[in-house]
Amino acid sequence: MAKTVGFPMIRNFSGDSRDFIPKLFAFMDRYEDVEFYLEEGYGERLGYTADDYLKASDKVRFVSREESFGKDITMILKNPEPEDLEMLKDGSTYFTMLHYATRPKVREVIARKGLKTFAMDHIVDDSGLRIFADYFGTAFNGCQAAVEALKEVYPDFYSKDRGPIKALVMGVGGVGQNCIRSLEILSDREFLGKEAPGILPIICTRTITGHPELFDSIIKECHLVVDATQRKDETQFVMTNRQVGLLPKNAVILDICADRYDFLVDPPLVKGVEGTITGEPGHTVIYPDDPGYAEIEGKIDTTNRRVTVSCNAWPGMDVPRSVQVYYGLMKNYVGLILQKDYDEISEDSDNLFERGLYRSTFEYFMDHWKK
């Protein structure tokens, strides 16, 4: 009996139009005993037609959204809301960006429905480095948007009489490192060959952010703050709202992490920078008077505000590039998921991608979380 594989569309991230492109289905056509069930309208936001997918594989079918969730395996780039996950078939396999650590409601659904999950964002190599990620796309899109916002609010942006524009980068993992690279590219683009000095990245690790007096002295001089942290404890801020108030009035905060507040758990989960709010592809620049602050006032200190650039789908800001990147990444994993049973995926495999896939399971996460 053929395995049924559902492909719902992203609907809960406004402006994120990414679906898997027809070339992925042409690639997966080689695998026997599988059938692909795409939600009606799949790929149309990218400019593709149903015929493009049908030509890619005769295993493609178009069905309702509910039907696309109710298959043996479900694949979607961004995780829907918990209420959508109720449409997943109990005990089925689910492959998406799951963010186990910061999504307690999603963890509850996974456990209750007995879902066999692979989290794209938890696929790591033998050294613990993510191998299913578009670090540069995330970093560059965010940094580019932040620099554009800074040009708008900082009158001295092109002045030759100021010092370098100091950019505080919190976090030096894969995203943080690519933010530094992106800031170099953007600094060259804006200032190379001109008299105005460029952007000076300042790297702040936990050994700096954990010392408030020292951190305060650095913050006061920075016109750009990048939150690229990966916190082990999502109940704690990296930068408090008091410290936000130390930034120059015309500073910009770049929220690369785009974590969400969750007040339904105790203690609540919070963002890395206290008092900021999360944007989306259609609304990335958040000004101090943004109505979205009303949702967290009284729960989080928002006294000090700066222009914030934030998006819950940074790679999706460059859709044509992003869908090609994720097509290449998916090719490393779809064969394993389609051809092997969930319990056959092993950390002892001689295949790097299979070992990474094993480490993305919910069971592996629960065994290693906060240990």
Residue 77 is predicted with a pLDDT of 93
Residue type at 169? V
Residue 370 is predicted with a pLDDT of 64
Q: Domain coordinates of the chain in residue numbers? A: 3-131+317-368, 135-316
CB 87 within 8 A of CB 81: no
**Residue 154 and residue 152: Cα distance in Å, rounded?**
6
Residue 153 is predicted with a pLDDT of 97
Residue 282 is predicted with a pLDDT of 83
CATH (one of 3.40.50.720, 3.40.50.2300, 3.40.605.10, 3.40.190.10) for 3-131+317-368? 3.40.50.720
Q: What is the 3-state secondary structure (H, E, C) of the chain?
A: CCEEEEECCCCCCCCCCCCCCHHHHHHHCCCCCEEEEEECCCCHHHCCCHHHHHHHCCCEEEECHHHHHCCCEEEEEECCCHHHHCCCCCCCEEEEECCHHHCHHHHHHHHHHCCEEEEHHHCECCCCCECCCCHHHHHHHHHHHHHHHHHHHCCCCCCCCCCCEEEEEECCCHHHHHHHHHHHHHHHHHHCCCCCCCEEEEEECHHHHCCHHHHHHHHCCCCEEEECCCCCCCCCCCECHHHHCCCCCCCEEEECCCCCCECCCCCCECCCECCCCCCECCECEECCCCHHHHHCECCECCCCCCEEEECCCHHHHCHHHHHHHHHHHHCCCHHHHHHCCHHHCCCCCCCHHHHHHHCCEHHHHHHHCCC
Q: Do domains 3-131+317-368 and 135-316 have the same CATH topology?
A: yes
* CB-based burial label for 323 (10 Å; 0-12, 13-18, 19+): buried
CATH (one of 3.40.50.300, 1.20.120.1760, 3.40.50.80, 3.40.50.720) for 135-316? 3.40.50.720
- What stretches in the chain show pLDDT beneath 70? 1, 13-15, 370-371
Residue 91 is predicted with a pLDDT of 97
